[in-house]
Structure 1
């Protein structure tokens, strides 16, 4: 069933006090004020050197006949529906992670050139899944990967609960649809993750840079099956019920590993 976000005035304000939405506090007025931000307000947050601009999605804009991704590549114009949660969160992702969004756009345009505008390749599906529901994850403790590989969710989120608090594993939400879903209090969230293997000195900034480079070079997101499910609702503080062990045995966001399912190894993250 297609998710329908609550009306702006109906959003429970508590959702902005816990992850993932609490991680976007610099945009809190845009999320909480009675009035929606317009494209001028969004554009005011771009660095002066940025090529892209948000443009209201109107009939006149769409009459240019360009594909959404091609328009961005050719003109820098990001078609944005006003007064719309999905497109507002997409704008926030562009502003925080422009290098990753540009890499995704370049790969999408390359695939459209091969497939045409009406068919989708496996790489296009992977790119879209990550764009909508992605997370960038650093694992600084290799032992956690075996738990994740086997979908040992009780192990990854309960027995190793401290790992999420002491920095041995860290996740940053990239998918704008995930942020939109988080508007519903208590909703169980599952991301589609790209994973980077680091050490104690590696940072999320480095992981984001590595992610953009890997996407841009076509080394990742060639197939949707590359993406690892990550039940975000298991992370401490991300769901109101996950302080109880029973949550980690029975929560619907935890799915068993399908027979024969494997995942790529984490991409090594080199610390400069």
Structure 2
């Protein structure tokens, strides 16, 4: 069990746990529970007996148990994201449980789809100036990446956190070009962007519809792919044009103190 793909910048936020994903053997559930701080929750083995308890996956988490398949990349990354971003994960879970209580466990509404997409493929982006995402609004990918490469390098636009554990799993596949589904926060350096996201999710301020999420072709970020010339950004099958009528919400704001 090794993951050379963890050298990908997508995993920078999980650097404290790289030994767990690069070890010669899979970490066991007990080992993970002992190592990770899961804020009052614990990992429990997902088996047939657990699946037969009648609880929805999200409801079980609300009671303290995160169903986890042993020797499974998807679930291992989920556990690590719980340890790294507990407030965001708890807010996602609370909103899912709210919708389940209102509409039952068999039907999923638009908000649940949005919550799930962010949970699986979510990325938090921080910008210092909302004008920096005008090119993103238009899907002007060359303008967003190449045209503002210096702003990316200076930290005026930055990946503040990667929540999507399915995105991490896909990053292990060589050559896979990834697309994150993003929430954006406009704030100065040093602001608690992750707390702002957790609060917005918990309050239902965001993720009421999947169309709120901005797609971000991660290979376009300066330094994230070996080829980033004009021809690269012209590949419309990856850097997709804006669909007619698609409008993204403005970024969340953290006022200057």
Q: If the length of structure 1 is used for normalisation, what is the TM-score?
A: 0.89
1:152-171 → structure 2 map (5 Å cutoff):
152-171=140-159
* Structure 2: runs of 5+ lacking an equivalent: none
SS at match of 1:220: coil
How far apart, CA to CA, are the structure 2 residues paired with 1:262 and 1:96? Answer: 31
Per-residue CA deviations over 1:127-155 (Å, capped at 9, x if unaligned) read 00100011111111332121110011000
* Structure 1: runs of 5+ lacking an equivalent: 1-7
How far apart, CA to CA, are the structure 1 residues paired with 2:131 and 2:103? Answer: 41
- Matching of residue 228 in structure 1 with residue 214 in structure 2: yes
Q: Which residue of 1 aligns with 2:196?
A: 210
Q: Report if the CA contact (8 A) 1:192-1:227 is conserved.
A: yes
Match of 1:258 among 237, 243, 248: 243
How far apart, CA to CA, are the structure 2 residues paired with 1:267 and 1:50? Answer: 26
Q: 1:270 offset after TM fit, Å?
A: 2.8
1:1-272 → structure 2 map (5 Å cutoff):
8=1, 13=4, 15-47=5-37, 50-74=39-63, 76-171=64-159, 172-199=161-188, 201-203=189-191, 206-242=192-228, 244-250=229-235, 252-272=237-257
How far apart, CA to CA, are the structure 2 residues paired with 1:50 and 1:223? Answer: 28
SS at match of 1:127: helix
SS at match of 2:67: strand
Q: 1:271 offset after TM fit, Å?
A: 4.5
Q: 1:28 offset after TM fit, Å?
A: 1.8
How far apart, CA to CA, are the structure 2 residues paired with 1:198 and 1:176? Answer: 25
Q: 1:174 offset after TM fit, Å?
A: 1.1
Q: Report if the CA contact (8 A) 1:131-1:175 is conserved.
A: yes
SS at match of 1:78: strand
How far apart, CA to CA, are the structure 1 residues paired with 2:35 and 2:157? Answer: 30
Q: Report if the CA contact (8 A) 2:182-2:213 is conserved.
A: yes
Q: Report if the CA contact (8 A) 1:192-1:230 is conserved.
A: yes
Q: If the length of structure 2 is used for normalisation, what is the TM-score?
A: 0.94
